[in-house]
A = this chain, B = another copy of it.
Amino acid sequence: MELKQEAQIFEMPHLLTYYECDETSHPSLSMILSMISMVSDEHSMALGMGTKEIQATGGTWVVSGYEGQLSAKQPSFGETIILGTKAVSYNRFFAVRDFWITDKEHQIEYARIRSIFVFMNLKTRRMQSIPPALIEPFNAPIAKRIPRLKRPHKLDEDASVIKKNYQVRYFDLDANHHVNNARYFDWLLDPLGRDFLRESQIKRFNLQYLQEVRNGEMVESKVNKLQKNNEKVTYHQIDVGEQLDAIAEIEWY
């Protein structure tokens, strides 16, 4: 197994565990997002920027959205995979980061995901400019134009909507005292039901985070299940009361 490890690119091996996989024996989308967040943390740590160094700035990285494709063939538990990431480009407020998951010989690309990060001040809970000391070591180019992620299609309130409520639980919180980003995908997908989730496989997805969900809140997850030009697509929305927290769009094999 050859791994790329330089300032801008970082790869690590990962033994896919039983509990990162769902009933299909393949990793759930929330676990895929958790795994890529792990390689992003490892990349930062390898460059001397662990959680302590980041938190010392008074802020934290926050993901504003994801756009990704999954191959029809997915890894199974017990398999060693490669998690990779690249710091693509950045400007004062946004940093673009790519992720990939491959088999251990780099022959099959199981997933390719792009995300955009912003930097949040932990006191004001507002966006602030990215501290140069946290971004320069990645050696990524400063971009005049930051590529935008595709915006998810909005939920169609006129079409049939499946709704389900989820109570945010203590173990949804991570060491950053936030609801783990990846957890949203469990809330997004669960309303589709066991039969749909066993028979369908995610082909591409995009998600936009709009507001933070907090401990103890009750979220409502709404879904449209649609057939569009021979494509099986679902539109998703997560909200707390009147406040829209996230929107997502998924295309299925």
Chain A interface residues toward B at CB < 8 A: 17-19, 21-25, 28, 30-31, 34-35, 37-38, 41-42, 45, 50, 77-78, 166-167, 169-171, 173-175, 177, 180, 182, 186, 189-190, 193-194, 197, 215-216
Contact = CB atoms under 8 A, between A and B. Distances in A.
A175 to B, nearest CB: 4
5 contacts: A18-B34, A22-B173, A23-B175, A30-B171, A171-B189
Contacts of A173: 22-23, 194
Given A34-B18, A38-B19, A78-B45, A190 B174 contact: no
Contacts of A41: 18, 78
The 3 closest A-B pairs by CB, nearest first: A19-B34, A25-B175, A23-B173
Contacts of A78: 41-42, 45, 50
B171 A22 contact: yes
Given A18-B38, A19-B37, A45-B78, A171 B194 contact: no
A230 B49 CA distance: 42
Contact of A19 (B50, B174, B193, B215): B174
Copies of this chain, tallied across the complex: 2
A213 B41 CA distance: 35
A209 to B, nearest CB: 17
A91 B189 CA distance: 43
Contacts of A25: 175
A171 B45 contact: no
A189 B170 contact: yes
A170 B182 CA distance: 15
Given A18-B34, A22-B174, A170-B190, 5 more contacts: A22-B173, A25-B175, A45-B78, A169-B190, A171-B189
A18 B171 contact: no
A181 to B, nearest CB: 10
Contacts of A194: 170, 173, 215-216
A170 B194 CA distance: 6
